Amino acid sequence: MNIYTYIIRRLLYVIPVLLGVCAIIFVLFNLVSPDPTLIMLGKHASVKQMAELRAELGLDRPMIEQYFDIVKSAFTFDFGRSWTTKQEISEMIKAGALPSLTVTFPAFILATVIAVAISLFVAFYRGKFLDKSVVLLCVALMSISSLAYILFGQYFFAFKLGLFEISGYEQAFPDFIPYVMLPILILIIISIGPDVRFYRTVMLDEIYQDYVRTARAKGLGEKMILFKHVLKNAMIPIITFVVIRLPFLILGTLLIESFFSIPGLGGITLNAINSSDFPVIRAMTVLSAVAYIIFSVITDVLYTLVDPRVRLG
């Protein structure tokens, strides 16, 4: 198959996936979920009140129309209004995306750089004591609940030692930095374990390839092999792993944002979950699914362009 045919086919595949995503969201939130009017009005609502509210929320319209509303919102990003705050959801998203990114983006970049560096380092000492202890440490870090990290970090470093702000946020540029320091630190610690393990496997997969043996046979030093050959080839899975996780940065982190009162999308989502605010939850789901689909197309296309070994079929 020609590479352009492949790219076009991959782009066209977005359509059934997007329709499928909307179908799942529709089934979950419009079809089988408990009647939202009952949640909003409480147990003692009269039938008339419920019918009025249903009409107001547009829940009495034909199912197929409600489904295509979701599909349409995936393109227009017009998600309607929140049931609780009555705000325009697209405005809420615009306001919340930046605070989320101020936490997730630096944390993601730092965690990736640190994890790749550590994994190169342990790949150099593979099978030795140092390698084994780093792997064990990573597994140990992964075995602690992220909630425990947040609770302990906030209590000990911010409350007891007073090294960081306990919670809060400022919108202006340099002012928010003290508020996001500890969340970033906690996020790095949460993600460093799985990241190092993943990158280490990537490095080791490369180290046992034939070209490494060739490089060794022609007399190259181990460091030269690692940095010039292994790292270069390992870049492909590393970039894939990085790109595919980018869309989730916008969504922020539910737990960290709510604990540190950061007014990001994670916090908005959490509030929506607590108040059964279906349009907001649905909007966040559509938003992240669309971002995920776009980025997975980008990775797939990049993959075929960058790596000639990828078979098209």
> Contact between 168 and other proteins (CB under 8 A)?
no
- Kindly state the smallest distance separating residue 51's Cβ from other proteins, in Å: 22
Q: How far is the CB of 171 from other proteins (least distance, A)?
A: 26
Q: DSSP string of the chain?
A: --HHHHHHHHHHTHHHHHHHHHHHHHIIIIISS--HHHHHH-TT--HHHHHHHHHHHTTTS-HHHHHHHHHHHHHH----B-TTT--BHHHHHHHHHHHHHHHHHHHHHHHHHHHHHHHHHHHHTTTSHHHHHHHHHHHHHHTS-HHHHHHHHIIIIIIIS--S-SS----STGGGHHHHHHHHHHHHHHHHHHHHHHHHHHHHHHHTSHHHHHHHHTT--HHHIIIIIIHHHHHHHHHHHHHHHTHHHHH--HHHHHHTT--SHHHHHHHHHHTT-HHHHHHHHHHHHHHHHHHHHHHHHHHHHH-TTPPP-
Stretch that binds other proteins, among 100-108, 116-124, 151-159, 221-229 (CB under 8 A): 151-159
Stretch that binds other proteins, among 91-99, 167-175, 177-185, 249-257 (CB under 8 A): 249-257
Closest contact distance (angstroms) between CB of 76 and other proteins is 19
Q: Which of 2, 16, 76, 311 binds other proteins (CB under 8 A)?
A: 16
Q: Near other proteins by CB under 8 A, which window of 97-105, 150-158, 228-236, 297-305?
A: 150-158
Site residues (vs other proteins, CB under 8 A): 16-17, 20-21, 23-25, 28-29, 32-34, 139-140, 142-148, 151-152, 154-155, 159, 204, 208, 248, 251, 254-255, 259, 270, 273-274, 276, 281, 284-285, 288-289, 292-293, 296
